[in-house]
Amino acid sequence: MDLVIITGLSGAGKSEAIAAFEDAGYFCVDNLPPQMIGPLGDLFRLPGSSVERAAVVSDARGGEYFELLNQVLDDLEGDGIKPKLVFLEAHDEILTDRYKETRRRHPSAPEGRIIEGIEKEREMLAPLKERADAVIDTSGETAATLRRRISEQLIETDSIGRMAVNLLTFGFKNGPPRDADITLDVRFLPNPHYIDELRPLTGLDQEVRNFVEAGTLAGEFYGRLLPLLEFLIPAYVAEGKSHLTIAIGCTGGRHRSVTVAERVWRDFSGRDDVAVRVTHRDIP
């Protein structure tokens, strides 16, 4: 069993840290009161439970209940569960700047100055920092670099989730999707719509694919597109991105876009670093 408890100073990046564990396939809970961690540990023991790895954030937002965390850790270890305690911190000026940017109240000084809350938290959290398995200073980290650092230092390589790549086809006449990270317009390819016997078919049919990919144009396009994606996907992963939606559009979203998406899927579906799925939005 693998249980990770993330704690530390408010504003130190705990939300980004737990996001890294969630991307790696952990069952995750943010802002969990300490007394609820024990029942979560019981999930590991339930017959047929699919929960094998979990990560939780427990911090000063829990108010007076947070003071129980040390005792909860002792109780878990007494029950045979040895959680990994991860403590995040940052310099006072960095934490102050982060709170100024968000304009949120500090949980340890809701009516006072931010620096007062930081000082109070440091004193309250000192015992947890002493017993932590990993102490990470996030002062110089961006959200992306912190996620990558968490993944590299605290998550086993074979536990890190693959990037989820969604190939989404659509027709421009029905409007482009809003959630696309990359949009490709393939209306320059031969259009089967004007061939009577091909019009009722889709890019899932071999006859349509043969028509769209005939000649040299499609081949030259694939020769540029596939190496581009080979370059972009690892670059996005390095930046901390875990989901990528590539929208591929033609006029109706039935022929050319589907043909291209299926070709990209065939080229990338066997890779170990991505999990590729195809959605044809405008095919009933």
Choose the final residue of a domain: 159, 182, 209: 159
Q: What is the DSSP letter of 25?
A: T
Task: Output Rg (C-alpha) for the chain, integer angstroms.
Answer: 25
Count of domains in the chain? 2
* pLDDT score at 280: 93
Q: Tell me: do 212 and 245 sit in the same domain.
A: yes
Provide the pLDDT for residue 172: 96
Same domain, 67 and 180: no
The two tokens of residue 42 are 């019981």
Q: Which pair of structure tokens corresponds to residue 224?
A: 């540029």
Q: Residue 63: what pLDDT? A: 61
Give mean pLDDT, residues 48-69: 76
Domain of residue 67, CATH code: 3.40.50.300
By mean pLDDT, which of 108-112, 150-154, 186-190, 248-252 is the weakest? 108-112
DSSP code string of 106-146: BTTBTTS-HHHHHHHHHHHHHHHHHH-SEEEE-TT--HHHH
Whether 264 has a pLDDT exceeding 80, the answer reads yes
- Claim to verify: residue 148 and residue 8 sit in the same structural domain: yes
Does residue 182 share a domain with residue 123? Answer: no
Q: 60-93, pLDDT tens digit by residue?
A: 776 655 678 888 888 888 888 888 999 999 999 9
177 lies in the same domain as 69:
no
Same domain, 231 and 270: yes
Please list, residue by residue across 131-146, b when 16 or more beta carbons sit within 10 angstroms of its beta carbon and e when fewer do: ebeeebebeebeeeeb
Same domain, yes or no: 173 and 54: no
| Most confident residue range from 28-37, 42-51, 59-68, 218-227 | 218-227
Let me know whether 178 and 270 are in one domain. Answer: yes
Range of the domain at 200: 163-280
Give the end of a domain, one of 143, 159, 175: 159
Say whether both 206 and 177 belong to one domain: yes
Closest CA to 150 of 89, 91, 86: 86
Say yes or no to pLDDT of 157 above 60.
Answer: no
Taking the CA atoms of residue 225, residue 165, residue 154 and residue 18 in that order, the dihedral angle to the nearest 10 degrees is 130
Burial of 266 (0-12, 13-18, 19+ CB in 10 A): exposed
- The helix-helix angle for 143-154 and 14-23 (nearest 10°) equals 60
End residue of a domain, out of 159, 181, 203: 159
pTM exceeding 0.75: no
Kindly tell me if the per-residue pLDDT of 232 is higher than 80. yes
* 239 and 115 within one domain: no
What percentage of the chain exceeds 70 in pLDDT?
Answer: 90
| The pLDDT of residue 218 is above 70 | yes
**pLDDT averaged over every residue in the chain:** 86
More confident: 229 or 272:
229
Q: Are residues 244 and 116 in the same domain?
A: no
How distant is the alpha carbon of residue 268 from its chain centre?
Answer: 20
pLDDT reported for residue 102: 66
pLDDT for 272 equals 77
**Quick one: pLDDT at residue 111?**
67
Please report where in the chains the tokens 């650092």 appear, as a residue.
Answer: 149
Give yes or no: residues 108 and 239 share one domain: no
3-state secondary structure of 254: coil
Place 33 in a pLDDT band, splitting at 50, 70 and 90: confident
Percent of the chain predicted with pLDDT > 90: 42
For residues 40 and 34, what is the distance between their CA atoms, to the nearest angstrom?
10
Q: What's residue 159's pLDDT? A: 45
Note the helical H segments in the chain: 14-23, 37-42, 69-78, 92-102, 114-131, 143-154, 206-212, 217-238, 256-268
